[in-house]
């Protein structure tokens, strides 16, 4: 039994050693874990420190916000900033608006034959001066201006003027020779067969109505004025088919009494020239008459009507060939190219015959050509 103790002691010693080894191993493992934890903690701490540094570096970038804070606290500064912003926005809108307007103008179609409004800056005195200058210029262009109806006496002029309604003077001049050859005076025409008169007047258009008018006025002349054409406006306008326009043609050209003839050409031109805005013939007559001395009324009518028939046409005025273009507010309504405008000229201005079969000698001397008789060419 005593011999076995040493073996037991050895075993105990071995056990103790084994235990100590395990303890050391566990301690080492624990130490490693602790070290790992410390390392992780250090890394976390380092990351936090890095994040703080990054935050600290970014902080200066936020200084403007910090600087704006005092501005918000100041009411006066805030108001100034708001006003500045509104002004800036206003400037931006002002810059953008013209762009939109110009784009709209580009897309809009060009205006066609629209008569401009009278210049607001033109005084009454300036209007009178401009109107009279236009008449003087036209007098130089048409020194041979005359009534474009053929006639030999007041009766023939009266009948021809009535027939000229809604037709050309040329057509009337081609028709009246046969009429006056068969019915030379009021008595003859008053007693004529209406059907025969209608047949003669057929080329003038509206021949039935015109036959009634010329036969009616002829009868009135015979019964009321002794077969003579009266020389007073109030008497003339009482005759069938005779208005103020017809009366002034007769008074001015057969009796030498001044009058303004407001026909379609006259109305068109005086409105283009902005002498008046009236549309009623009687009001146009009064408005234009107030711009000129009474002694000029008859020749003024001839100048304007001549110009309307030769150059300032209704649909295609020859603006590029117009002698009074610098004085005309409506310049540009027609063709402005000089070469193209020349092709639009009519009668003697375009090298063509006039409207009278027997024109005045002054017209022929100026290069005018007489019209062909009815049925010629």
Side-chain half-sphere exposure of 48, counting CA atoms within 13 A = 6
Of the listed 263, 342, 346, 369, which one is catalytic? 263
Question: Is there a contact between 141 and 345 (Cβ–Cβ < 8 Å)?
Answer: no
What's phi and psi for 123, nearest 5 deg? -80, 170
Q: Is 7 a catalytic residue?
A: no
Q: Cα 364 to chain center, whole Å? A: 41
CA dihedral for 372, 311, 321, 111, sign (positive or negative): negative
199 vs 195: CA distance, rounded Å: 6
Between CA 320 and CA 316 the distance in angstroms is 11
**Quick check: is 245 catalytic?**
yes
Among 150, 169, 245, 349, which one carries the catalytic annotation?
245
Q: What distance in Å separates the CA atoms of residue 339 and residue 320, rounded to the nearest whole number?
A: 8
Q: Assess contact for 338 and 298: CB atoms under 8 A.
A: no
User: What single string gives the DSSP state of each residue in 187-209?
Assistant: HHHHTS-HHHHHHHHGGGSSHHH
The residues annotated as belonging to the active site are 245, 263
């Amino acid at each position: 039994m005593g011999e076995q103790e040493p073996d037991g002691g050895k075993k105990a010693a071995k056990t103790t050693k084994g235990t100590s080894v395990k303890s050391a191993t566990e301690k080492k493992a624990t130490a490693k874990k602790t070290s790992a934890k410390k390392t992780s903690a250090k890394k976390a701490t380092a990351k936090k420190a890095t994040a703080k540094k990054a935050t600290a570096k970014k902080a200066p970038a936020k200084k403007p916000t910090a600087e704006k804070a005092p501005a918000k606290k100041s009411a006066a500064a805030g108001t100034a900033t708001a006003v500045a912003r509104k002004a800036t926005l206003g400037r931006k809108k002002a810059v953008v608006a013209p762009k939109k307007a110009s784009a709209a103008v580009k897309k809009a179609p060009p205006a066609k034959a629209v008569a401009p409004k009278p210049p607001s800056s033109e005084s009454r005195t300036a209007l009178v001066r401009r109107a009279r200058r236009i008449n003087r210029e036209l007098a130089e262009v048409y020194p041979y201006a005359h009534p474009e109806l053929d006639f030999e006496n007041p009766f023939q002029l009266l009948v021809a003027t009535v027939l000229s309604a809604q037709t050309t003077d040329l057509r009337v001049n081609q028709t009246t020779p046969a009429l006056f050859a068969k019915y030379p005076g009021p008595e003859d025409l008053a007693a004529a067969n209406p059907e025969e008169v209608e047949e003669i007047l057929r080329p003038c258009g509206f021949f039935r109505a015109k036959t009634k008018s010329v036969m009616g006025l002829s009868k009135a002349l015979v019964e009321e004025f002794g077969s003579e054409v009266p020389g007073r406006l109030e008497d003339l306008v009482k005759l069938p088919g005779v208005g103020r326009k017809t009366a002034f043609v007769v008074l001015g050209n057969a009796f030498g009494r001044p009058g303004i003839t407001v026909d379609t050409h006259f109305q068109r031109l005086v409105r283009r020239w902005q002498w008046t805005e009236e549309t009623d013939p009687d009001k146009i007559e009064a408005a234009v008459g107030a711009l000129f001395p009474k002694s000029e009324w008859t020749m003024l009518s001839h100048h304007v009507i001549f110009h309307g028939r030769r150059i300032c046409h209704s649909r295609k005025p020859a603006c590029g060939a117009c002698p009074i273009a610098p004085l005309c507010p409506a310049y540009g309504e027609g063709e402005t190219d000089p070469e193209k405008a020349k092709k639009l000229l009519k009668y003697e201005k375009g090298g063509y015959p006039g409207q009278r079969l027997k024109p005045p000698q002054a017209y022929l001397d100026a290069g005018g050509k007489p019209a062909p008789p009815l049925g010629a060419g």
